[in-house]
């Protein structure tokens, strides 16, 4: 296994540094984005609205770090909550998932609550940057040393930066804080449409500012190089110290 893993690391690093491959990846990403590619997949029956490569990356992180609590901002149709709950179910123990959304639509709530894995899921309706909401999440995290955080709600710089300041407190050394849709910075401005985020104002600009002022986290570049196709380039943040 040591030789196999080392060979993989070498090829991943070389692939990540291959500009022709990276350019082809960007072209593919833009071409398929027009067809809402990430909306076409489900996890155990619920739309997950993630790229399959990011789903695999989350699986690897969960299996390796064994979180006791997974915090997700942004619920949408609930597939990501189900993904997290299913991984915790496989690991065993009493791990929990908490999802936060400013608007949990009733039909989505009903489908999530009727799912076989609902026993591991708690949902909070409210803004993820509301201090009261964060205090509720922090109470759920009390006594749990291993916490994974995934940010995927409002994608403006200001909102994501505030989420980073709040929820990074919950992640200890060896854990991960994943910021989705950093890819917005690399996409043509017209792809953002009428949304309040776009190039220059998005999750990646927030991550870069956060990392300049916080030395507890670093970008896990090996994940970027391995995935290539990802909605979160530069967004897989590993906590390197408590």
pLDDT in tens, 31-72: 999 999 999 999 999 999 999 999 999 999 999 999 999 999
pLDDT of residue 99: 98
Average pLDDT of the chain is 97
Task: Write a three-state SS string for the chain.
Answer: CHHHHHHHHHHHHHHHCCHHHHHHHHHHHHHHHCCCHHHHCEECCEECCCCHHHHHHHHHHHHHHCCCEEEEECCCCCHHHHHHHHHHHHHCCCCEEEEEECCCCHHHHHHHHCCCCHHHEEEEECCCCCHHHHHHHHHHHCCCCCEEEEECCCCCHHHHHHHHHHHHHHCCCCCEEEECCHHHHHCCHHHHCCCCCECCECHHHHHHHHHHHCCCEEECHHHHHHHCCCCCCCCEEEECCC
Q: What is the mean predicted confidence (pLDDT) over 218-236?
A: 98
- In this structure, what is the dihedral angle of CA atoms 45, 48, 53, 59, given to the nearest 10 degrees? -70
pLDDT of residue 27: 97
Q: What is the pTM of this model?
A: 0.97
pLDDT of residue 78: 98
pLDDT of residue 2: 81
pLDDT of residue 1: 67
Evaluate if residue 12 carries a pLDDT over 70: yes
Which CATH number belongs to the domain containing residue 163 in this structure? 3.40.50.150
Number of domains in the chain: 1
Domain that holds residue 68: 2-239
Band (pLDDT 50/70/90 cuts) for residue 186 is very high
pLDDT in tens, 124-143: 999 999 999 999 999 999 99
């Amino acid at each position: 296994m040591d030789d196999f893993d080392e060979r993989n690391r070498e090829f991943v690093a070389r692939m990540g540094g291959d500009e022709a491959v990276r350019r082809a990846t960007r072209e593919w990403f833009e071409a398929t984005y027009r067809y809402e590619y990430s909306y076409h997949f489900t996890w155990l029956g619920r739309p997950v609205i993630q790229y399959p490569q990011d789903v695999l990356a989350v699986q690897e992180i969960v299996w390796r770090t064994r979180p006791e609590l997974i915090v997700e901002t942004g619920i949408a149709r609930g597939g990501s909550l189900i993904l997290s709950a299913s991984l915790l179910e496989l690991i065993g123990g009493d791990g929990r998932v908490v999802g936060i959304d400013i608007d949990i639509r009733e039909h989505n709530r009903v489908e999530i609550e009727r799912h076989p894995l609902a026993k591991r899921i708690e949902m909070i309706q409210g803004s993820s940057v509301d201090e009261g909401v964060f205090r509720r999440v922090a109470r759920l995290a009390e006594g749990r040393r291993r916490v994974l955080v995934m940010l995927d709600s409002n994608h403006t710089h200001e909102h994501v930066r505030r989420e980073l300041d709040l929820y990074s407190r919950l992640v200890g050394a060896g854990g991960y804080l994943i910021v989705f849709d950093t890819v917005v910075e690399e996409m043509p401005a017209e792809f953002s449409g009428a949304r309040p985020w776009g190039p220059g104002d998005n999750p990646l600009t927030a991550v870069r500012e956060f990392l300049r002022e916080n030395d507890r986290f670093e970008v896990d570049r090996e994940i970027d190089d391995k995935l290539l196709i990802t909605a979160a380039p530069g967004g897989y943040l590993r906590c390197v110290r408590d």
